[in-house]
Structure 1
Amino acid sequence: MDFENLMSCILVILTLIAHFGLRLTFYNRVNSLGWPRKRIKLVEKIAFVETWMTPLVIFAVFFPAVSEFAFTNGSWRELPAGLVIYSVLCLFLGGVFFALWLLWRPIFGVQHADVSRTSRCIAADANATQRYAQTRKCQWSSRVPCNQMFDLAIENVEVRLPGLPESLEGYRIAHLSDIHLTGHFTPNFMTDVIGHALDWQPELFALTGDIVDVQQCIGWLKQIFAPARASDGSLFILGNHDTRVSEPDEVRREMIEAGWTDVGGSALKHSLRQTDVLMVGNEAPWFGRPSDSDMTAIASDLPTDTLKICLSHSPDQYDWARRHEIDFMMCGHTHGGQGRLPLAGPILSPSWHGSRWASGDFYRAPTTMHVSRGLGGVHLLRINCRPELSLITLRRSN
């Protein structure tokens, strides 16, 4: 094979890679939308079929032209015009999205926040797996090589905030996210997670959504979450998976009866160590978030240097938080990508920004954002992406 043949083959391969990469980009974006689940699943199924049918049809219909181009010094001019246009679009758009994807790889640390992070893993042994796995499917999944779904990572994260009041130096927040009570796990897993958090003696619990996936698990909420007590309260919001139960308001009522405070869609004054802060709950786009007028009204009643903290299910609300000068934002939703490649990090992420904010700590003035990998998931598989209990300590920035 001479050089021209080699380059032609490379172009065909790159076009195929770009084709599949663009479909992955589409998948990430469609799952960030606030559409009903049935509509998203329908779109996903159509997109899945199209993803595989398009190259198969192209090769079936234009195989002689493509093979001649790739292997016998064929020319672009000899290919059908429609195929050339589609290939050029794939290569161009694929190149643009690949460059952006590469820019935001965790290894480069672009726009990452100034934090100190230490991690301790509690690996699940056979006894723990037996205690946590409720269904046969879950038991089988736990035996998949490299599956870390029960290997809890306790992440101690020290976050430096420029606007942190001196009275809140060293403030401790236990951040939980993406519990996903599907009935595959027993309540024991989350009970143990909360036990580990309580051992740390947090001053505040914060839960950023996706609590319940199936109706029958609503009855577990008091058992799991009632023990989670902190001196300054336990706050929660809902996420997109909480829309999958027949009545999400039941989740809210059960959590409130368990002693938690619902801050979803609201902005309110809250006391941390007897210091007033503005606490905001953003459940967009699936439920609500405070209106601009609500944010202005509540902020006008507080000093201008009041610390502003936001619980948001999705990191896609980052720009909204920055517009409203939120100091610290805690999120989940993206599960760290559910799987992470060495060096490259996550690929899948249900976000309008792809895997840019799949997990970690980020800073874009004036907002520092912490994104948890979450604790559960509908898909019983975590590869190089352990469930995360975030134990956050707030520090004053130097």
Structure 2
Amino acid sequence: MISVTIWRIVLIAVFFGHFGLMLSLYNRINGVGMARRTVKRIVKVMFLYTILLPPIVWWLNQQALSDRWMGQVAVIRGDGDASLPLALIGYGIVCLAAYVVLGIPWLIFRPIFGLEWVKVKKKSEVVSVDRVCNVPLALTKKCKIESRLPLNQLFELSIDTIELPVVGLPLALDGYKIAQLSDIHLTGDVHPDFARYAVQRATAWGPDLMAITGDIIDKQSCIDWLGDIFGAAEATDGCYYVLGNHDTRVVDSWQTREAMDRAGWTDLGSRSLRTNLRGVPTLMIGNEHPWYERPVIQQKGEEEFRFLVSHSPDQIGWARRHDVQLMLAGHTHGGQGRLPLAGPLLSPSYHGSRFASGDFFKPPTTMHVSRGLCGTHLLRINCRPELSLLVLRRAGGPG
């Protein structure tokens, strides 16, 4: 027998564990390569389960308090019958266990502690793109309403110039400039001038190389925009791209690839390309897994540098196994929102919000994860869209 107060404290702890468990499962389900319809159905069921279970359990408990135990609650009655269904009691234990199994790792990898993070020098310029463009950026009623919501940073582009230390970076590549765009999400909600502005600023910076890390387009009707948006991009060593999970929403993703190819971009999807960057033999690799095939990479050969353009940061393990020194990724949108101190909660990744955005090092791979430009969800709270302008530095300084 336990007191009503203690029992209610336990129930509250279970409820928070329930929400944490569901959030963790939501992040991971959205990070796998299942068909979109399947993921949507699972998420809808999970949402209903997440919302409806707590009031049902609370109501059952109140019934138990008022009708049977008169001020005290027995988890298991003396005759062996549970005061709550055994399935719910078992699930409650799972929710409490989630504090240890999921909660402790989540806490350890909060951005404030900097575990596995790379210390970088960063300068940020915030541009309200809706004020510098000559046309309204919100095209649909949905976008017009959501863009005006308080705290929404939808059109506040953060142009981040980052000096990124890379372990194993060849000396000749110290100071190498890479402009990264990610998660363009052309849906028709936002005017193409928003993405065009980001491309113009990236080109004006004079990068050695430009890369897009996936999720370029969501709707078939936006394919005609690609040439106009990306055709003017320029970089000394070329412009490269991979596709992401949202690019599968177009009936035939080869139409997207062909449009990007016509715009002068090089398709790295699921393949590798040997090239030279400032005279350094380099293997450029594209990884669109799990939505498309992974490339087949041989053991490290004559190349001095391996550079991976990936949609998802979940490919960090693959990158490490294949001796990749630098990896660029997106997909997670920085979580779409970030809490003070705690950082992001939502992140479609096998790792949850651990790699939602930022700069990380897991030997031998240095990884930069972009917050991306846009999304199908048009809310960004304390999580501005990002254009990443990366200046590579040999870890420990030049020389």
Scaled by the length of structure 2, what TM-score is found? Answer: 0.93
Partner SS state of residue 155, structure 1: strand
Going from structure 1 to structure 2, the CA distance change for 1:307 and 1:138 (only over 3 Å counts) comes to same
1:46 matched to 2:35? The reply is no
Contact 1:129 / 1:139 at 8 angstroms: preserved in 2? Answer: no
**Equivalence for 1:380:** 378
Tell me how far 1:129 sits from its aligned partner: 9.1
Structure 2 letter corresponding to 1:226: G
Q: Which one of 153, 156, 166 corresponds to residue 148 of structure 1?
A: 153
Deviation of 1:20 after TM superposition, in Å, equals 1.4
Give yes or no for contact 2:65–2:72 (8 Å, CA) kept in 1. Answer: no
Match of 1:89 among 90, 94, 110: 94
Which of these residues, 240, 244, 260, is aligned with residue 235 of structure 1? 240
Q: CA deviation at 1:55?
A: 2.7
Partner of 2:84: 80
Partner of 1:13: 12
Q: CA deviation at 1:12?
A: 1.1
Instruction: Give the Å deviation of 1:140.
Output: 1.3
Alignment partner, residue 345 of structure 2: 347
Secondary structure of the residue aligned to 1:77 is coil
What are the Cα deviations for residues 275-319 of structure 1, in whole angstroms up to 9, with x where unaligned? 22111100000012212xx333xx33x24xx11100010000000
Could you list the per-position Cα deviations for residues 87-124 of structure 1 after superposition, in whole angstroms to 9, with x for gaps in the alignment?
22211123421111111110000010132222111134
Verify the 8 A CA contact 1:334 1:351 in the aligned structure 2. yes
- Structure 2 distance, partners of 1:333, 1:51, is 25
1:77 deviates by 3.3
Q: Structure 2 counterpart of 1:146, which letter?
A: L
Match of 1:357 among 345, 349, 355: 355
More deviation, 386-395/190-199: 190-199
Q: Which residue of 1 aligns with 2:122?
A: 117
Other-structure match for 1:190: 195
Is the contact between residue 8 and residue 69 of structure 1 (CA under 8 Å) also seen in structure 2? Answer: no
Letter in structure 1 aligned against 2:53:
T
- Higher helix content, 1 or 2: 1
Which amino acid counterpart does residue 269 of structure 1 have in structure 2? R
Q: Deviations over 1:216-243 (max 9, x none)?
A: 0000000000111111000000000000
4+ aligned runs moved over 4 Å, structure 1: 66-71, 124-130
For 1:88 and 1:137, locate their aligned partners in 2 and report how far apart those are by CA, in whole Å.
41
Shift of 1:54: 2.5
TM-score (norm 1): 0.93
Aligned-pair identity in percent equals: 47
CA distance in 2, matches of 1:136, 1:116: 40
Tell me if structure 2 keeps the 8 A contact 1:5–1:71. Answer: no
Q: Which has the higher mean CA deviation after the structures are superposed, 59-68 or 339-348? A: 59-68
| Contact in 2 for aligned 1:208/1:239 (Cα 8 Å) | yes
State the Cα distance separating 1:81 from its structure 2 match: 5.7
Q: Do the aligned partners of 2:130 and 2:136 also contact (CA within 8 Å) in 1?
A: no
Alignment of 1:314-333 (within 5 A): 314-333=312-331
Runs of at least 5 residues in structure 2 that lack an aligned partner in the other structure: 78-82
1:260: which partner in 2?
A: 265
1:169 CA displacement: 1.1
Tell me the matched-pair count. 389
Q: Quote the residue 1:163 is aligned against.
A: 168
Instruction: Tell me the alpha carbon deviations over residues 147-185 of structure 1, each in whole angstroms, 9 at most, x when there is no partner.
Output: 001000011111111211111110000000000000011
Cα gap change, 1:126/1:167 in structure 2, threshold over 3 Å: closer, same or farther? closer
Q: Does structure 2 conserve the Cα–Cα contact (< 8 Å) formed by 1:119 and 1:155? A: yes
